[in-house]
Structure 1
Amino acid sequence: MSTILLIEQVLNGLQFGVMLFLMAAGLTLIFGVMGLINLAHGSLYMVGAFAAAAVAGVTGSFVLALAAALAAAALAGAVIEIAVIRRLYAAPHLDQVLATFALILIFSEGTRWLFGSFPLYLDIPDALSGPVTLPGGIEYPRYRLALIAIGIAVALGLWWLTARTRLGIRIRAGENDREMIAALGVDISRLYTLVFALGAALAGLAGALVGAIQSVQVGMGEPVLILAFVVIVIGGIGSIKGAFVGALLVGLTDTLGGLFLPALFRLFMAPDAATQTGAALASMAIYILMGLVLVWRPAGLFGTRAA
């Protein structure tokens, strides 16, 4: 195995991880602050991707496409929080699951009605197309490097928001004692709508960014949502730092597992059998990682309460 291949796969894992972080950060904010299980978060990812593809197709501008993805996902999040989610905060988790699953069906059929069943495609902007030469002569896609940089920038921005701003103080206080901050005059309903819209915007941004390297299609958010739940269980519910670290662990485990496990089994198995066995274990690697973390720390790496 060459060093160049290894470095490329590590970068692929980082890129996959930071995109998962954008999904998981919004999900962990919503669950941590509101205590809400939101299965429709993947649909907001899909909304961002379709909004970006539609606007890019009309205007040809990738920047406007990203802005449209953020706005569409945030608006959709605010609307469903006010219309549906607000009635579920005191409901049992089973009711939350059923209601947000219904939202998945509504978003999927609504998107199919608006855009059809065929996938859309979002072109990589010219400024970010093509490879860039890294130290050591490694050529890596410029757009994927930009995704890593954007993910890290968003992580730093979320840390600043939650740790250094008045809104962040309210978010953290709402997570710990919502009745107390309501007694101090904070409008809990407005805070919840804002947090939900922020989480939805992050999901929409992830959908738009990933939409340029894969097709944009109905149902694209559900597989990513499952991985986002794995991320927040590993990192700890309600922790932005945990979401970032957990996302990087999941991204690297998924990518490097597919590289190393088949090669490992080839040492003592026939090539075909080794490839099949290694690929099967690689697909389970992130769930094995989650199980090991929960055995060691049931609340997750940075969680303060059991998941």
Structure 2
Amino acid sequence: MTLIIEQLLNGLQLGVMLFLMAAGLTLVFGVMGLINLAHGSLYMVGAFACAAVATATGSFWLGVIASLAAAAAAGAIVELVVIRRLYSRDHLDQVLATFALILVFSEGTRWLFGSFPLFLDVPAAFSGPVTLPGGIEYSRYRLAIIAAGLLIAVGLYALITKTRLGIRIRAGESDREMIAALGVDISKLYTIVFALGAALAGFAGALVGAIQSVQVGMGEPVLILAFVVVVIGGIGSVKGAFVGALLVGMTDTLGRFLLPVFFGTFMDPSSATSVGSALASMSIYILMALVLVAKPSGLYGDAI
């Protein structure tokens, strides 16, 4: 039971990280109609900015601030210089252009920081385990990640539903031509949305950088999971991104833990681990297929 609870918390932590990635991705697609393959590169930019500033200053928190600023600035520049020319183009052009941006970001990061990974230390205030009810010990830092992700989810929900900017974002998702005719600067709105999504991705990269190594190309595997989240939750829906992220996080984490144990009841340990790990890797795609069979537009494809 202790192991199961720990894995549930790990799944929740993965889920909130995927939400930070998927929220920006689904906002950009919902408002702009843009497929942005370079979103994972902005996650990488945030991680490298955090690692570089934290190493130079000795402060993890300054590194987090730098990750938000660097990712948001990179997102705004990319939108102004490249993305703005793609809105009227078809999705194939968008895919090709944003794939080229992946190569530009990867080689630029390698030129600046080298090919060797960087490492972030967990801040002293969140190092070590914390004892949960029932005597379960769990990483204090991972709990802080869960709390931060949930707070950002609540804040993003309030931004979308309660503020003037949120009203414009929702209106842009519904009818961009109409809000442009009503006097809203649609170009400025697009830049803000893109920078917001980039900042969320950069923040996720900074937080995960203290658990994993910070290296070139770290954003691409996470991007694939984020796209799965967006498809499950419904393209353009922030609520769907949150629910989908939790489903994917739990499915992936519990699958990797439980499937080898299940197959181990009637197979030798080596085969059980091999088969269980292979099926666990497939589990999130099976989940996506089942959701699409039941609801082709995703769980919340009809609402932002």
Q: Which amino acid aligns with 2:288?
A: M
Q: How far 1:63 sits from its partner (Å)?
A: 1.2
Deviations 1:210-261 (A, max 9, x none): 0000100000000000000000000011111100110000000000001111
Q: Say yes or no: does 1:245 pair with 2:243.
A: yes
In structure 1, distance between residues paired with 2:58 and 2:271? 47
Q: 2:94 aligns with which of 88, 93, 96?
A: 96
Structure 1 segment 1-307 matched on structure 2, within 5 A: 3-304=1-302
Q: Which amino acid aligns with 1:211?
A: G
Partner SS, residue 36 of structure 1 = coil
Q: Which amino acid aligns with 2:299?
A: L
Structure 1 gap ranges (5+): none
Q: Which amino acid aligns with 1:148?
A: I
Off by >4 Å, runs of 4+ in structure 1: none
What's the % identity of the aligned pairs? Answer: 78
Q: Which amino acid aligns with 1:205?
A: F
Q: Which amino acid aligns with 1:269?
A: M
Deviations 1:78-97 (A, max 9, x none): 00100000000010100000
Q: How far 1:120 sits from its partner (Å)?
A: 0.6
Partner SS, residue 140 of structure 1 = strand
In structure 2, distance between residues paired with 1:104 and 1:259? 32
Q: Pick which of 243-252 and 274-283 moved more.
A: 274-283
In structure 2, distance between residues paired with 1:155 and 1:168? 14
Q: How far 1:270 sits from its partner (Å)?
A: 2.6
Structure 2 gap ranges (5+): none
Partner SS, residue 138 of structure 2 = strand
Q: How far 1:262 sits from its partner (Å)?
A: 1.2
TM-score by length of 1: 0.98
Partner SS, residue 130 of structure 2 = strand
Q: How far 1:148 sits from its partner (Å)?
A: 0.2
In structure 2, distance between residues paired with 1:280 and 1:103? 31
TM-score by length of 2: 0.99
Q: How far 1:296 sits from its partner (Å)?
A: 0.4
In structure 1, distance between residues paired with 2:48 and 2:99? 20
Partner SS, residue 24 of structure 1 = helix
Q: How far 1:268 sits from its partner (Å)?
A: 2.5
In structure 1, distance between residues paired with 2:250 and 2:243? 11
In structure 1, distance between residues paired with 2:207 and 2:235? 25
